[in-house]
Amino acid sequence: MLFFAIVVTFIASIIFTPIVRRFAFRIGALDKPNYRKVHTTIMPRIGGLAIFGAFLVGYLILLPEDSHSLGILVGAVIIILTGFLDDMLEITAKAKVVGQLAAAVVVVTWGGLQIEFINLPFGGQLEFGFLSIPITILWIISITNVINLIDGLDGLAAGVSTIALISLAIMAIIMGNPFVIATAAILAASSFGFLFYNFYPAKIFMGDTGALFLGYMISVLALLGFKNVAIISLIIPVLMLGVPISDTFFAIVRRIRMKQKISAPDKSHLHHCLLKSGFSHRQSVLIIYGIAALFGLAAILFSQATVWGSIILLVVIVLALELFVEAIGLAGANYRPLLNLVRMIGR
């Protein structure tokens, strides 16, 4: 039944996307080029409606049971409306945060999804108590936005999200969580179908409608799969989203170093750095897909390792990521502490 739902969802996404594209032109939901954007032509940008619609088709076929499901769906509708309003009217950042906060509050209070405690690696528990609600809300809003921030090249956010969702589904199989397996799988099928129209050269963008929806769903599914587990295991969803999280983190580092506002826009994100390094649009996207897949594989290996093995693997990942960041100038052209140290040792 799951395979059937995945296939139908994929086909629905392929059918819905051109319909949504025509609808976007009709209502004026268009993304116009500017100095910060890579595309040079006017593009329809509410493709997230097709992703959401196809996801609902698959969801209605399976009707996966979980105590959190109704709250998750209501929160998803709020997120979709928030993204759609932004794609249509370009609402303020504060208004977008209000919509995201509303969705997070719904899934936490009505849906009952909270990180209540974590098991410490060497024994004992860390209870969050009254902090469990704000911590959960902060996680949902943060991950919702990191997917949105990486949506800078044709097919980038959709592809990275699909890879993260496949990784989540595999981890859910390992951990025996049927709801996360089903939901992540049909959402991955919906996002993958959309890629047929969104990969370079794109015919439609997912817009905030799609990026916020995918970010929200990934954040919630990650919590469902890994809440109330060992502290080491909480790193797994972070690894799965290693590309957008690290891109966001080093953007903050870069802006602090340049004495800019953290929210200040620039053209130094991961995809911009790859383009500046001489890679084509398509090559840059495929390279980031490869990095995202490596992060997903690392997360799966991480989950099967011992505590000390996990720590060693994490150190290797952090060092490799730092070297890559310094090599492409993601944190700034002159930010090369580790490379400089390696050169000093080499001398």
340 is in an annotated binding site: no
Count other C-beta atoms under 10 Å from residue 109's C-beta: 13
pLDDT at 311 over 70: yes
pTM of the predicted model as reported, rounded to 2 decimal places:
0.87
pLDDT at 36 over 90: no
Each domain of the chain, given as residue ranges in start order, spans 2-346
What is the rounded distance in angstroms from the CA atom of residue 137 to the CA atom of residue 263? 20
Question: pLDDT-derived band of residue 73, with 50, 70 and 90 as boundaries?
Answer: very high
Identify residue 266 by its one-letter amino acid code.
D
> Which of 186-200, 265-279, 296-310 has the largest mean confidence?
186-200
Question: pLDDT-derived band of residue 231, with 50, 70 and 90 as boundaries?
Answer: low
Residues in Cβ contact with 134 at an 8 Å cutoff, skipping those fewer than 6 apart: none
Whether 223 and 139 have beta carbons less than 8 Å apart is answered as: yes
Whether 47 and 210 have beta carbons less than 8 Å apart is answered as: yes
Question: pLDDT-derived band of residue 243, with 50, 70 and 90 as boundaries?
Answer: confident
Question: What is the pLDDT at residue 1?
Answer: 86
Question: What is the pLDDT at residue 227?
Answer: 58
Whether 191 and 161 have beta carbons less than 8 Å apart is answered as: yes
Question: What is the pLDDT at residue 327?
Answer: 82
Is the Cα torsion angle 297, 301, 302, 303 positive or negative in sign?
positive
Question: What is the pLDDT at residue 226?
Answer: 67
208 is in an annotated binding site: yes
For 201-228, how does the pLDDT look when each residue is reduced to its tens digit (9 = 90+)? 889 999 999 999 999 999 899 888 765 5
What is the rounded distance in angstroms from the CA atom of residue 31 to the CA atom of residue 253? 29
Whether 42 and 30 have beta carbons less than 8 Å apart is answered as: yes
319 CB burial (10 A radius; 0-12, 13-18, 19+) = exposed
Q: What is the secondary structure of 65-133 as a DSSP string?
A: --TTHHHHHHHHHHHHHHHHHHHHH---HHHHHHHHHHHHHIIIIIS-----EEE-TTS-EEE-GGGHH
Question: What is the pLDDT at residue 190?
Answer: 97
Whether 45 and 24 have beta carbons less than 8 Å apart is answered as: yes
Percentage, residues of the chain above pLDDT 70: 89
Which residue is associated with the tokens 């009709």?
Answer: 26
For 290-300, how does the pLDDT look when each residue is reduced to its tens digit (9 = 90+)? 988 988 888 88
pLDDT at 38 over 70: no
